[in-house]
Amino acid sequence: MKILFFGYKECPYSFDALNYLKQLNCEVTSVFSNSRKDRIPEEIFSWEGDLIISFFNYLILPPRLFNKAKYAINFHPASPEHPGSGVSSWAIYNDSKEYGATAHLINEKVDNGEILLVKRFSILETDDANTLLARAKHYCMVLFYELIESLLIKNITVESLIENNSDQWLGEARKIKQIDRMSEVPINIDAQELEKRIRAFHTEKFPIHTFLHGRKFIYV
């Protein structure tokens, strides 16, 4: 099988997934991104094959690329109730009880394509955005093995996976700039809301912070 694989350089799971495909003797072309600012190499647009896989990939794949494969599949580190970016934060902030990982077809919209498989797990009272995302990534890896085994070893069709799935996306996809806004707290924020925001939105990339007299103060 001829596969185009998109991963993230800083995620070991991306390399585990790529190596598994190679173990299955797939003909794999791989593209690894560093950040959301990266661009798809122009030569990749001449690729044609059977399957495109996006696994912890920051690059948005345009139709002129994902239409070159029979199927294009993304692994989203959240359950279908949480489409978009930075959603582990929103799951914590909104007191969700459950989270997960989702494998779905890629279309023109973010986290909107037909769902193939979902793995779910409970959110713990001790979870924050970081621990929840870490566990979701692990479940994505489990989901990846299960889906690839179904498609490439057991010869289960994508159509049958879609037919047997009952999950649906809920709500609009969250954008990363919404996380940035929530990590900036007003100087008069009450204690309860501050603790809630720290648990939900305080990450290395978006630390909780405020501004006072023109100076930025960061929570540590």
Rounded-to-5 percentages of helix, strand, coil across the chain? 35, 25, 40
Cα separation, 17 vs 19, in Å, equals 5
Our measurement of the distance from residue 30's CA atom to the centroid of its chain's CA atoms, rounded to an integer in Å, reads 18
What's residue 58's pLDDT?
A: 85
Predicted model pTM: 0.93
What's residue 60's pLDDT?
A: 87
What's residue 36's pLDDT?
A: 78
Place of tokens 């002129």: 64
Low-confidence stretches of the chain (pLDDT beneath 50): none
Structure tokens of 11?
A: 């995620």
What's residue 114's pLDDT?
A: 96
Among residues 58, 57, 59, 130, the alpha carbon closest in space to that of 91 is found at 130
For each of the domains in the chain, give its residue range(s) and CATH number, in order of start. Answer: 2-164 (3.40.50.170), 176-218 (no CATH)
Q: Which helix (H) or strand (E) segment is 129 a member of?
A: helix 129-148
What's residue 125's pLDDT?
A: 95
Structure tokens of 139?
A: 């479940």
Among residues 65, 154, 63, 69, the alpha carbon closest in space to that of 107 is found at 63
Interior angle at CA 99, CA 194 and CA 7, nearest 5: 100
Cβ-Cβ contacts under 8 Å for 156 (sequence gap 6 or more): 150
Asked if residue 56 lies in contact with residue 11, where contact means CB atoms within 8 angstroms, the answer is yes
